[in-house]
A and B are shown apart, each in its own frame.
Chain A
């Protein structure tokens, strides 16, 4: 990789960490114009920046507002770079169904997990919020998802998480679909009790968890 390319990647990463949407867009266009590989630009520029932002979030230097603006910058760059990806269609990426369980509309936590998983290369199907248990199962079967990620902030919806697992068993697909849970009232012991495959307390930790569950790579 040339020094010039390397410094462009670094500048892109810095622009994402710096929450600068305009600069990220401008640098992404520059990469395209200079014929730099789009996948490398995404991985070494945008994703690298988002991972740094995730670390700052874990060490409480960044908070939700900062992380969201970093992700805005990352997505602005992705919009420009994605059309230039060469072989994306041939790559099989793990699909993850994510959503907030029925009875709750708090979705910031879910959105942060989605952002960090997307930045790690996973293919995310976001069902949104207030989602009935059966829909998680139907969608997961339809798109051959590897993982279902369930989020809630309300204790009233916790039974819905257990219900998803029960429905997966009834549909005979529990073996091939991992279930992870998270949110304010959720704990590791709750996750264990309902038979979920994992629990994570933060968005960056959710990425590590999913990678463990599906094997290291997102693809």
Chain B
């Protein structure tokens, strides 16, 4: 398949102005899969901003997608505030222990200093390097974990969700310190030239109720979005798992683009909030991108496009969540190729005729 006529930045600009494109924007959300492009171990990213940047740039050049996102795992901010993170030799990191055990200890937590604490300085370095290298042709985002999710890593998820019912004031204190930390980090990300992109995994209605999201998730996200808008940047908000009952509340945060997991339906999302926000999604990362064949990837891409290419605020064809580390390159290529095949403008005829291609 021939490569693209427009750079990602040109493509987004034209899309925003309603001008002709070469194809829809497409973002397989590449995190630690970037390690495979350089042939390094995932653990080599730890504390190595230059390597993260090199790998992310190499992955972007290898696949030709539309957004670079500097991301290794969701724990970076919680780690900088005292949570313990385990780094396997060649897999994505996971939480070993929260920073505190009970609500009594919340007062001991301090917002992180992004230039000093944990691995935040190295992530900022990766963002700065990537932005300097390719920021003129492709948007470079810095991953920013939402306050409620960081709160869950600070005190433990079960602890936190119990507290939402038993001690709401404590949850607000915890979310506030997580927000203050995120606010300063977002500012530092913006200083590198990158744009923060928000993920608030634990806000999913797979975990908490819509009412709890409105009380403990949305207000802090809304403040962060306003902070980032204050610096003139558009914001993408991703929440994993089920989100249909909170799409409107997610749009109420002021986010410009909602990234929707494959546990949700893009057509339904378009009907509900498509006049307010751009949609991004939602090829299944595990079942299709990791375990499927290129033909299945192509079919899933066409389903996404059929469901939401008419979205008034636009569609970015994307994976429903960050890609698993071992996602086959052939499947990432197939995702981009499928979007190129459909081309622009998207027509029903085109979607049908190429179905078996």
Give residues in A with beta carbon < 8 Å to B: 19, 60, 62-66, 68-69, 72, 103-106, 108, 111, 130, 154-156, 158, 184-187, 189-190, 193
Tell me whether B164 and A60 are in contact (CB under 8 A). Answer: no
Output the least CB separation between B33 and chain A (Å): 11
Band of interface residues on B: 20 to 34
Tell me whether A155 and B286 are in contact (CB under 8 A). Answer: yes
Tell me whether A156 and B286 are in contact (CB under 8 A). Answer: no
Known: A111-B158, A156-B325, A185-B324. A65 touches B95 (CB 8 A): no
> How far apart are the CA atoms of A60 and B209 in the complex, in Å?
8
Determine whether B205 belongs to the interface, using a CB cutoff of 8 Å to chain A. Answer: yes
> How far apart are the CA atoms of A18 and B327 in the complex, in Å?
44
Known: A103-B91, A103-B94. A64 touches B286 (CB 8 A): no
Determine whether B43 belongs to the interface, using a CB cutoff of 8 Å to chain A. Answer: no
Tell me whether A154 and B212 are in contact (CB under 8 A). Answer: no
> How far apart are the CA atoms of A154 and B165 in the complex, in Å?
28
Question: Beyond the given A69-B166, A158-B286, could you list 8 further A-B residue pairs with CB under 8 A, ordered by the A residue number?
Answer: A65-B212, A66-B209, A104-B94, A105-B94, A184-B286, A187-B286, A189-B287, A189-B291
Name the one of B157, B205, B285, B290 contacting A63, with C-beta atoms under 8 angstroms: B205
List the 10 closest pairs (A to B, CB-CB), nearest first: A185-B286, A155-B324, A65-B161, A156-B91, A63-B209, A187-B287, A65-B164, A105-B94, A155-B286, A64-B207
Give the chain B neighbours of A105 by CB distance below 8 A.
86, 94-96
Output the least CB separation between B168 and chain A (Å): 11
> How far apart are the CA atoms of A65 and B94 in the complex, in Å?
22
Tell me whether B208 and A19 are in contact (CB under 8 A). Answer: no
Determine whether B92 belongs to the interface, using a CB cutoff of 8 Å to chain A. Answer: yes
Give the chain B neighbours of A155 by CB distance below 8 A.
285-286, 290, 324-326
Output the least CB separation between B128 and chain A (Å): 29
Tell me whether B245 and A64 are in contact (CB under 8 A). Answer: no
Determine whether B115 belongs to the interface, using a CB cutoff of 8 Å to chain A. Answer: no
Output the least CB separation between A199 and chain B (Å): 12
Determine whether B272 belongs to the interface, using a CB cutoff of 8 Å to chain A. Answer: no
> How far apart are the CA atoms of A104 and B91 in the complex, in Å?
10
A-B residue pairs in contact (CB < 8 Å), sample of 20: A62-B209, A63-B212, A65-B161, A65-B162, A65-B165, A65-B212, A68-B161, A103-B94, A108-B158, A108-B161, A130-B94, A154-B92, A154-B94, A156-B88, A156-B324, A184-B286, A185-B285, A186-B286, A187-B286, A189-B291
Output the least CB separation between A218 and chain B (Å): 25
Output the least CB separation between A30 and chain B (Å): 24
Tell me whether B94 and A63 are in contact (CB under 8 A). Answer: no
Tell me whether A65 and B208 are in contact (CB under 8 A). Answer: yes
Determine whether B241 belongs to the interface, using a CB cutoff of 8 Å to chain A. Answer: yes
Output the least CB separation between B131 and chain A (Å): 29
Tell me whether A19 and B165 are in contact (CB under 8 A). Answer: yes
Q: Which residue of B lies closest to A156 (CB)?
A: B91
Tell me whether B165 and A66 are in contact (CB under 8 A). Answer: yes
Give the chain A neighbours of B157 by CB distance below 8 A.
106, 108
Output the least CB separation between A22 and chain B (Å): 12
Q: Which of A63, A69, A158, A187 has the most CB of B within 10 A?
A: A63
Tell me whether B209 and A156 are in contact (CB under 8 A). Answer: no
> How far apart are the CA atoms of A65 and B162 in the complex, in Å?
5
> How far apart are the CA atoms of A156 and B324 in the complex, in Å?
7
Tell me whether B92 and A68 are in contact (CB under 8 A). Answer: no
From residue 324 to 340 of chain B, which have CB atoms closer than 8 A to chain A? 324-326
Tell me whether A63 and B324 are in contact (CB under 8 A). Answer: no
